[in-house]
Amino acid sequence: MRSTTDILVIGSGVAGLTFAIKMAVKRPDLKITIVTKNTIDESNTRYAQGGIAAVWDPELDSYEKHIADTIDAGDKLNDDKIVRMVVKEGPDLVRELIEWGARFDKKSDGKYELGREGGHSTYRVLHHKDITGWEIERALIEKVNSLKNIEVLENHFALEIITQHHLGRVVMKVTPGIEAYGAYVLNKHNFTTLTILSKITVIATGGAGQLYSVTTNPKVSTGDGIAMFYRAKGRIANMEFVQFHPTALYDPQGETPNFLISEAVRGHGGVLKTKDGVEFMQKYDKRGSLAPRDIVARAIDKEMKIRGEDNVYLDVSSIEKNDFIKHFPNIYDKCLSIGIDPMKKFIPVAPACHYFCGGIVVDKNGKTSIKNVYSAGESTYSGLHGANRLASNSLLEGLVYAHNMHIEIDNVIDKIRINDRVPNWDATGTSEPNELILITQSLKEIKEVMGSYVGIVRNNIRLQRAMNRIKLLNSETEDLYKSTVLSQQLCELRNLITIGYIVTKSAMMRHESRGLNFNTDYPDELSYKEITFI
Ligand code: FAD
Ligand code: SIN
């Protein structure tokens, strides 16, 4: 099966949907196809809690403050020009989101209520209770549905970006002029592989939190876009900076994904404590429970190791009950559902994998190293986050890059032609897998390897151990991939192993402790800026 579209967008989170809307409005003559591997709303975006950071109240905030907080949280590895651009462009794009129907909480005087999170020096986070992402997705999906030139293919799993490699040419990282012609996509309704030819392909596939068993990310976050792009020989950077959120709800039953207890709870007065009720964050940072995430997650990890415990606690008793329920109704209900009344008991919390600061290298317009491929959102390395993302800057980044990308693509698309010499997917020589355990066991293993050896605290021996095991998993999985009929499960495993390899290799290449990459063999920071390309 083959089809043709002007722009193929892979992914339906904040980045993919915002881009599709803007492009469709600007160019009603173009056909835009969104493929998404689950239902349209399923994404990291949908689960965002705290909100979206934007300079909003001039009495409290300024661009310079937001820029300084972003760079401070990022341990100065950020690209200053990109930080400035995102912070300055952001507020107008949030206003546009509001015009499209997204509702953010207001105070009784009609002004927007601004929250605060770790690393922010002031109140600047717009939010919809504690389900901001759900509200943003709702508004975006409604807007997408109103636009006739957007086609949405749900339950369509993108397999590979099509390049000259699929025309029979040898393509290597150093090959000049690698270009893309669309993607091979598995239609999960009938298990056929579609060849979708496009002038432009946009990767908006989000992050890879599923690389770790303890994660806040939903099942769809398997790093497919980054892995596909890497296989297509595109440029990736800074994947060692994996962000662990300090406060996922600790569930002894091992619920997955782990439910998030938003940092906004700490911004509202919640305090991290040990089991015996002692505040510990002041020992580590003068900002206490509201220090940037890398610092808080590391401190919690240390306290848990010292005490031999699986979690620490969040004390929210200083917040009045009605106030807590008004701001955090979803968190309140979740705690009650597992027998914890947060007004009476501490909430047990522990760090969980949450966000990837690295990814596909993009310029300020989302342009990548592969011709006709653009990317936005968590799948990218844009330079905004540096070595550690400032809370609530991710939704903002998705909006800004979607915006810049649509202007750039409008300027270039009319010069690009569809390449219809691309062959269809070749599945000869493959058969149904005999034992699914070959996939499920390897999935468990890669998560275990990453959790044990490439977590919050790293060292060279652990990284080498991880690499040895990843190489074995990789070779076994490649054998299986070559001989087996395609399935989403196998492809996701393959992608996660690729991401595990890139994260570990990047961590081995970074000989310093900076931001989220904490390596006890290199306790010091280097004084120069450096990007780990792979
Ligand atoms: P996503 O929203 O993850 O969307 C990716 C899309 O790609 C999905 O639709 C997915 O199904 C699709 N996809 C993936 N692979 C394929 C494939 N092979 N084929 C087809 N489709 C595919 N950030 C903030 O700024 N503020 C917050 O308050 C906040 N809270 C968060 C809370 C939680 C629990 C989590 C998990 C994250 C939170 N984040 C927050 C981070 C933020 O939500 C994400 O970084 C951001 O939403 C990413 O948007 P995206 O569009 O890049 O990707
Ligand atoms: C949270 O609400 O704590 C998550 C915010 C983020 O990841 O930006």
* pLDDT tens, residue by residue, 346-376: 999 999 999 999 999 999 999 999 999 999 9
> Based on the domain organization, do 25 and 160 belong to the same domain?
yes
CA of 460 from ligand 2 middle (Å) equals 30
Question: Is 431 within the bounds of a domain?
Answer: no
Instruction: Name residue 514's beta-bridge partners.
Output: 517
Measure Cα distances from 86 to 83, 199, 294, 367, 373 in Å: 5, 27, 22, 16, 21
| Percentage of the residues of the chain whose pLDDT score is greater than 70 | 99
Q: What number does the ligand 2 atom closest to the CA of 117 have?
A: 3
- Residue of 46, 116, 293, 510 marked catalytic: 293
| Counted domains in the chain | 3
Instruction: Name residue 156's beta-bridge partners.
Output: 187
Q: Considering every ligand atom, which ligand is closest to the CA of 354?
A: 1
Q: Considering every ligand atom, which ligand is closest to the CA of 263?
A: 2
Residue nearest to atom 1 of ligand 2 (CA): 262
264 lines ligand 2 (CB under 6 A): yes
> Based on the domain organization, do 303 and 405 belong to the same domain?
no
> Based on the domain organization, do 336 and 404 belong to the same domain?
no
Q: What average pLDDT does range 326-349 have in this prediction?
A: 97
Domain boundary among 304, 334, 353: 353
Q: Using 50, 70 and 90 to split pLDDT, how confident is the model at 14?
A: very high
Question: Is 495 within the bounds of a domain?
Answer: yes
Residue 246 has pLDDT above 60, yes or no: yes
368 lines ligand 1 (CB under 6 A): no
Mean pLDDT of the chain: 96
The predicted pLDDT at position 529 comes to: 64
> Based on the domain organization, do 210 and 254 belong to the same domain?
no
Residue 426 has pLDDT above 90, yes or no: no
> Based on the domain organization, do 200 and 318 belong to the same domain?
no
248 lines ligand 1 (CB under 6 A): no
314 lines ligand 2 (CB under 6 A): no
> Based on the domain organization, do 212 and 259 belong to the same domain?
no
The answer to whether residue 458 is catalytic is: no
Is the Cβ–Cβ distance between 328 and 207 less than 8 Å?
A: no
> Based on the domain organization, do 379 and 479 belong to the same domain?
no
Measure Cα distances from 252 to 214, 356, 464 in Å: 12, 25, 30
Separation of alpha carbons 513 and 519, rounded Å? 5
Residue 176: cis peptide before it, omega within 30 degrees of 0:
no
**Which of 34, 159, 205 has most ligand 1 atoms within 8 Å of CB, for mutation?**
205
Give the strands of the sheet with 359-361, arranged side by side: 236-237, 359-361, 380-381
Burial class (CB within 10 angstroms; exposed 0-12, middle 13-18, buried 19+) of 178: buried
Q: Where are the alpha helices (DSSP H) in 413-454?
A: 437-453
Q: At what angle do helices 488-509 and 224-231 cross, to 10 degrees?
A: 70
> Based on the domain organization, do 395 and 324 belong to the same domain?
no
> Based on the domain organization, do 364 and 348 belong to the same domain?
no
The predicted pLDDT at position 416 comes to: 98
> Based on the domain organization, do 264 and 191 belong to the same domain?
no
Q: Which CATH number covers residue 461?
A: 1.20.58.100
Question: Is 426 within the bounds of a domain?
Answer: no
Instruction: Name residue 243's beta-bridge partners.
Output: 355
Measure Cα distances from 197 to 17, 91, 369 in Å: 20, 35, 19
How does DSSP assign 110-155, residue by residue?
Answer: SSBP-B--TT-SS--EE-STT-HHHHHHHHHHHHHHT-TTEEEETT
15 lines ligand 1 (CB under 6 A): yes
Domain boundary among 321, 353, 385: 353
> Based on the domain organization, do 402 and 259 belong to the same domain?
no
Nearest CA-CA partner of 179 in 166, 189, 191: 166
Note the pLDDT tens digit of each residue in 394-422: 999 999 999 999 999 999 999 999 999 99
For the ranges 190-204, 338-352, 478-492, 493-507, the lowest mean pLDDT is seen at 478-492
The predicted pLDDT at position 527 comes to: 62
Q: What number does the ligand 2 atom closest to the CA of 355 have?
A: 7
For the ranges 21-25, 344-348, 365-369, 485-489, the lowest mean pLDDT is seen at 485-489
CA of 263 from ligand 2 middle (Å) equals 6
Residue 528 has pLDDT above 60, yes or no: no
Q: At what angle do helices 132-145 and 394-412 cross, to 10 degrees?
A: 20
Q: Which CATH number covers residue 345?
A: 3.90.700.10
Q: Using 50, 70 and 90 to split pLDDT, how confident is the model at 434?
A: confident
Domain boundary among 353, 373, 390: 353
398 lines ligand 1 (CB under 6 A): yes
Q: Which CATH number covers residue 100?
A: 3.50.50.60
> Based on the domain organization, do 177 and 43 belong to the same domain?
yes
Note the pLDDT tens digit of each residue in 268-326: 999 999 999 999 999 999 999 999 999 999 999 999 999 999 999 999 999 999 999 99
Measure Cα distances from 66 to 112, 266, 292, 398 in Å: 18, 19, 14, 17
Burial class (CB within 10 angstroms; exposed 0-12, middle 13-18, buried 19+) of 435: exposed
**pTM beyond 0.75:** yes
Nearest CA-CA partner of 404 in 11, 66, 86, 41: 86
Q: What average pLDDT does range 145-165 have in this prediction?
A: 98
Q: Considering every ligand atom, which ligand is closest to the CA of 196?
A: 1
Residue 463 has pLDDT above 90, yes or no: yes
196 lines ligand 1 (CB under 6 A): no
Q: What number does the ligand 2 atom closest to the CA of 394 have?
A: 8
Q: What average pLDDT does range 493-519 have in this prediction?
A: 97
132 lines ligand 2 (CB under 6 A): no
Alpha-carbon dihedral sign for residues 64, 50, 117, 98: positive
Q: Which domain does 522 fall in, by range?
A: 437-533
Residue 430 has pLDDT above 70, yes or no: yes
CA of 264 from ligand 2 middle (Å) equals 7
**Which of 49, 216, 385, 393 has most ligand 2 atoms within 8 Å of CB, for mutation?**
49
Q: Which residues of 254-270 are buried (b: 16+ CB within 10 A; e: fewer)?
A: eebbbbbbbbbbbbbeb
